[in-house]
A and B are shown apart, each in its own frame.
Chain A
Amino acid sequence: MSTSENRQNTRAARNAWLLSTPALVILTLAATGPLMIMFVYSFLTPGKYGNVEWQFSTDAWRGILFTRDIFDNTLKLADAHLTIFWRSVKLSILTTIFTFIVGFPTAWFIAMRPPASRALWLFLITIPFWTNLLIRTFAINQIIRNEGLLNTVLIKAGLIETPINIIYTDTAVFIGMTYVYLPLMVLPLFAAIDRFDLRLLEAGYDLYASRWQVLRRIILPIVRPGIVAGSILVFIPSLGAYVTPRILGGGRQMMIGNFIDLQFGQGRNWPLGASLSVLLLVIVALTLLVYVRVTAPEKTDG
């Protein structure tokens, strides 16, 4: 091939991306448009009946943490808001930890099945995805409510006398989220364990490691990318959960998602809703950044 021809080909390849410009434009608008709107709204003043008034204000950002006292108009920490943030973070972390504790043995079990039956097990794990989230959450509600399956069985069996009150508590939200997000933990864990070279276990035992040491020093570090991926996949939607706390937390055990919803509804404080949304997004972005850092191939010395 002659040089000029070669150069022409390179230029053609270099310019080919221009053909995807329309798609890129649409994508960029779709991805950043709503975010820009939220960002702008968070610096405006709430309208009387919802919506916003075009007047610059940082009240919405201050409003995340502080409220103005109705009597003397001084700024105070908004305890109610902090409770909601704390609950969101706490429940999300608990959910992540618990889905890991349950998900790791599950994923290990599936990865150790013969290849033929592995597909079936994975399919079973994904079954919850086949029904609507709302319906699944209502099903949980049916099980744990005071007159529900769980309490009826326990009372009939004579184990308890009065129903255990789980519904509309943090525990209920935690149970619901663990159930809903478990597959998101199991699948990346399975993918990592599936790649794990089982011969390393024998090498570990051969070099005097106990079962616990093999788990901690060999298995967990090697499948770490799967653990991090699973934790992120569970933590992020947990933090923004809306349906589960709404149905199982009964409106009082609010999480950030419900709190944002409240601002755009009854609260009639769109700018506060917008600032909370942006904050949530920043937290998610930071979490993802940590993920990238942790899973990036390590630089080596020598």
Chain B
Amino acid sequence: MTDTYAVEARDAVKEFGQGAGAVRALDTVSVAIRQGEFFTLLGPSGCGKTTLLRLIAGFDSPTSGTILLDGQDITDLPPNRRPVNTVFQSYALFPHLSVAENIGFGLEMLGRPKAEVEQRTAEMLALVKLEAMAGRKTAQLSGGQQQRVALARALAPKPKVLLLDEPLSALDLKLRKEMQGELKRLQLETGITFVFVTHDQEEALTMSDRIGVMSGGRILQIGSPREIYARPTNRFVADFIGETNFIPARIRGGAAHLAGGVELKIGQSRADGAATLAVRPEHLRLVPQGMAGALSATVSHSVYFGTDSHVHLKLLDGTELVARQQTDPDGAGEPKPGAVVGISFAPGAVQVLED
């Protein structure tokens, strides 16, 4: 790893339209993506993922802020002069060209000798396992095959960074799983920096080295999948990725005070005041009522999922929680609706959110 980042956005702002009707699609986004990293932009529809990708590719220029590639300012460089390639959500394959011609297009435009173009095209065809389809027109391919051509076409010129805008969203579930593995393999084999866009949290968690969670034109948190999942720093991230229980609390003297006089040590140092605690359902433990340090709750109902069941609980102040429990073979340990139980937390499972 060198000391410059592969891609950087510094205080990037993108507004569409002018004056009162302007839409701020990106609001002062700063992100630094490392060399050779599989970086994922994750967020709900309309949060600005595509917009950020288009700024990096050069299809749009930022209203303000800068884009850097390998430490160099490329904000004013047109897309055809940026060593960055894109896998489009719609694939955007050239319908008048064969699979091989599509893959060789970039190198040909770069003016590479014919022999090199052909050799690299053959390599790419092998990499995405489409040797048999080289002469076909792209319209004669299945969705998954088109996807592979789009990938090969974007990888052929050996870009410094590959941008992928929800490349798997048009595929059915099975193919999608397959392509996820394939993408990861290609990224490792080529060592190219991938910037991957998705709104599927599972996809993001399983594939990425780091994830940037976006909402409303901002990047809310950047971290490894484990950090994002286990240590969400704000309510949106905690809620968007996986399921989370939110418990209101007061911070006083380095501890969180919950309803019913329960006090929890917290790892993070926080200013005193109101706060929200986030706890994953699998980190809630049901214990006998009245146990020291446990919250009291009433069981509303539970839902059986096979390997585990979700127990829906209600705290005294009305806060609703879900606890995930492994099931017993005979269902003996299952709490009955209306029962009053205690809830304790696994150590380190509680995350104090900034909101």
Which residues of chain A have a CB within 8 Å of any CB of chain B? 197, 199-200, 202-210, 213, 217-218, 221-222, 298, 300-302
Contacts and interface: CB of A to CB of B under 8 A. Distances in A.
Contacts of A217: 105, 109
B338 to A, nearest CB: 58
Given A207-B109, A207-B157, A202 B137 contact: no
B92 A209 contact: no
Contact of B79 (A200, A206, A221): A206
In the complex, the 10 A-B pairs of residues with the closest C-beta atoms, listed nearest first: A302-B135, A207-B106, A203-B92, A208-B109, A205-B79, A209-B109, A199-B92, A221-B96, A205-B80, A206-B86
Nearest to A200: B92
Residues of A contacting B: mostly: helix
A209 B85 CA distance: 12
Interface string B68-108: 00000000001111001110101011111000000001100
B88 A302 contact: no
A298 B140 CA distance: 12
B80 A209 contact: yes
A206 B80 contact: yes
Contacts of A301: 135
Contacts of A210: 80, 109
Contacts of A300: 135-137, 140
Contacts of B29: none
B164 interface: no
Interface in B30-61: 57-59
B153 interface: yes
A208 B135 CA distance: 23
A302 B133 contact: yes
B94 A200 contact: yes
Nearest to B101: A217
Interface in B11-25: none
Interface residues of B, number: 31
Interface in B150-168: 153-154, 157
A298 B92 CA distance: 20
B264 interface: no
Interface string B104-124: 011001100000000000000
Given A197-B92, A203-B92, 15 more contacts: A202-B59, A202-B92, A206-B59, A206-B84, A207-B80, A208-B106, A208-B109, A208-B110, A208-B157, A209-B80, A209-B109, A300-B135, A300-B136, A302-B132, A302-B134
Given A199-B88, A202-B92, A301-B135, A207 B153 contact: yes
30 contacts: A197-B90, A197-B92, A199-B90, A200-B92, A202-B86, A202-B92, A203-B86, A203-B93, A203-B94, A204-B94, A205-B59, A205-B80, A206-B80, A206-B84, A206-B85, A206-B86, A207-B105, A207-B153, A207-B154, A208-B81, A208-B106, A209-B105, A213-B109, A217-B105, A218-B94, A221-B96, A222-B96, A300-B136, A302-B135, A302-B136
Nearest to A209: B109
B109 to A, nearest CB: 4
